[in-house]
Amino acid sequence: MSSKRATRSVELCQINEQTLWTPIRLPPSLEEHTSWVVHRPLIRLEPLSASMPSGIQGLVISSRITLNYHGHWLKLFRGPVWVVGETTSMVCRQLNLNVTRCADSAAGLLRSSLPPGFLYVGAQHPCEVVQAAVTQGRMMHLPAYRTVSIDHEAHLVNSFSRIVFASPSAVHCFCQLSEGRPPIIVIGNTTKMAAIERGFSSIQMPLRPSLERCASLVLNG
């Protein structure tokens, strides 16, 4: 998109709508547009104590959050690592982890048969696809962090023309506060599935999951 057209798109957004940005981090590209992009996280993350169990043959990592909190010991692992998302894959490779499989969603990643001895390192309460794989005994689960809802009054999340979600947890938190279902932007397929289950119908999603690409959709439509 040309610079002139992008500027016009931003001007129209300022006039016609206000966007609620719920992810924890606001990308630099949106910092100058906070008059109409309201940054109001719905969740916060807290690390949990974790260490590598013995006998693990492979890892499943679905978020770079896990690596932010526990990369200092995960980087010592030399077996195969399956990951969700190109950003997670990039951080894994920076830690010299052996990424052997990458997919854009947990559903896509776990569609393949997991070898024995794999361990999921991630959220205390993972998405339904991951939880199902753990319950079925396809892999083990090591909680690395937990998601905590931030208390908001309902009026603080209502009346927005568009909302950006970066996790199923944020979708769930919003739906506890509001019955509204405005158009939304989601970071990836797992969040999209959660939004559809809760009644959202007008959904945009970047071709590849990242906050920067979500910000581009906010600015350019």
Angle at 22 between CA 24 and CA 61, to 5 degrees: 55
pLDDT at position 207 over 80: yes
Of the two residues 8 and 81, the one the predictor is more confident about is 81
Structure tokens at 11: 């001007």
Q: How many CA atoms lie within 13 A of 113 on its CB side?
A: 2
Cβ distance 220 to 9 under 8 Å? yes
**Tokens for 153?**
């009054």
Which tokens sit at 200? 């959202």
pLDDT score for 87 = 82
pLDDT for position 10 = 45
d(CA 64, CA 24): 13
Looking at the domain that runs over 45-148, which CATH code has it been given?
A: 3.40.50.10090
Average pLDDT, integer, range 94-107: 93
What tens digit of pLDDT does each residue of 125-172 get? 998 889 999 999 999 999 999 999 998 888 889 889 999 999 888 999
For 167-187, what is each residue's pLDDT tens digit? 888 999 999 999 999 999 999
Domain ranges of the chain: 3-42+154-220, 45-148
Q: Is the pTM of this model over 0.95?
A: no
Q: Which long-range contacts link 111-115 to residues 24+ away (Cβ below 8 Å)? A: 114/58, 114/60, 114/82, 114/138, 114/139, 115/57, 115/58, 115/80
Contact, 83 vs 108, CB < 8 A? no
Asked whether 142 and 119 are in contact (CB, 8 A), the reply is yes
| Secondary structure (3-state) at 24 | coil
CATH fold, domain 3-42+154-220, is Rossmann fold (3.40.50)
